[in-house]
């Protein structure tokens, strides 16, 4: 079995590659620079340096592989890359999407972007499996580490939304299982993936406080206030809108709704990690 991985050095890609190596399968990782790949990935994988915009380079690299894992920062290129991969013999594609992905949703949102890509991938003449994770636990570090350390608060526009955030390693383990099990088992299926507990951002702040033993609150702000806050970080307007839209969407669908499911456990045989385990894992980062 040969698996071609796009996004191998990312938050999900790194643990995915580790799990695939543990499963003793042949893994090729397509990376922008060999140096970064060698620094972050196991020695057992085959590293190929390449540019996603170079069609011939990618075509040559993916040729001869059976399965493709696809997660890139350039969503718009994914359908074209998948089409090339199919032409070169790929039989199964596993795509990381997002919860609530919908091609009819607000343009500029991640839900719209992933929904459009899903629709295009499902038209390909190969088996496709879509993984739709809820918000990553790791996003807390990306968006709020600074405000927690400097001001003891997290800024959100989620209202009373209850979000069952999921650890990236749980997403990676699901992907590893899907990629290494019989193709027919997961063909044409879409899995929504959640963590084990749905909490409000105020409840999350309490969990952070208890874990790091430092007062942390949640400051609820308006959409406009959050937009201005992110713009102050130097982010582009479109990126800020996408982040603000997350909270808007969670308010719409998850207000006072503690939805979770057992898909992680059903596929992997393991229960997903809790917020407490994640916070203990990263405790030092909040205190440095």
Render pLDDT for 107-164 as a digit per residue (tens, 0 to 9): 989 999 999 999 999 999 999 999 999 999 999 998 899 999 999 999 999 999 999 9
Contact 9, 40 (CB under 8 A): yes
Name the DSSP class of 256.
T
pLDDT for 282 equals: 95
Cβ pair 15, 169 in contact under 8 A = yes
Closest-CA residue to 205 (of 217, 221, 197): 217
The stretch 44-60 carries a mean pLDDT of 95
Contact status, residue 68 vs residue 1, Cβ threshold 8 Å: no
- What residue spans of 73-222 are helical by DSSP H? 78-87, 110-121, 139-151, 168-180, 183-186, 201-212
User: In the numeric block, which tokens belong to residue 81?
Assistant: 């890359």
Cα(45)–Cα(16) distance, rounded to whole angstroms? 12
**Tens of pLDDT, residues 181-236:** 999 999 999 999 999 999 999 999 999 999 999 999 999 999 999 999 889 989 89
């Amino acid at each position: 079995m040969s698996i071609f991985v796009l996004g191998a050095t990312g938050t999900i890609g790194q643990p995915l590659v580790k799990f695939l190596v543990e499963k003793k399968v042949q893994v090729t990782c397509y990376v922008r620079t060999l140096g970064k790949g060698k620094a972050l990935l196991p020695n057992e994988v085959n590293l190929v340096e390449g540019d996603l915009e170079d069609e011939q380079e990618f075509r040559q690299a993916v040729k001869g592989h059976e399965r493709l894992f696809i997660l890139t920062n350039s969503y718009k290129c994914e359908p074209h890359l998948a089409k090339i991969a199919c032409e070169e013999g790929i039989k199964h594609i596993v795509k990381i999407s997002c919860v609530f992905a919908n091609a009819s949703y607000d343009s500029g949102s991640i839900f719209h972007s992933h929904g459009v890509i899903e629709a295009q991938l499902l038209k390909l003449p190969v088996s496709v499996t879509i993984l739709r994770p809820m918000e990553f636990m790791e996003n807390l570090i990306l968006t709020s580490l600074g405000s927690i350390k400097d001001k003891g608060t997290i800024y959100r526009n989620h209202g009373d939304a209850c979000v069952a955030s999921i650890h990236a390693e749980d997403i990676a383990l699901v992907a590893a299982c899907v990629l290494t099990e019989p193709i027919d088992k997961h063909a044409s299926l879409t899995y929504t993936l959640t963590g084990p507990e749905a909490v409000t951002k105020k409840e999350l702040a309490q969990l952070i406080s208890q874990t790091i033993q430092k007062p942390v609150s949640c400051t609820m702000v308006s959409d406009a206030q959050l937009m201005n806050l992110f713009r102050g970080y130097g982010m582009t307007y479109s990126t800020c809108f996408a982040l603000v839209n997350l909270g808007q969407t969670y308010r719409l669908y998850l207000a006072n709704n503690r939805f979770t499911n057992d898909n992680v456990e059903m596929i992997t045989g393991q229960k997903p990690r809790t917020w407490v385990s994640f916070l203990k894992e990263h405790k030092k980062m909040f205190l440095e």
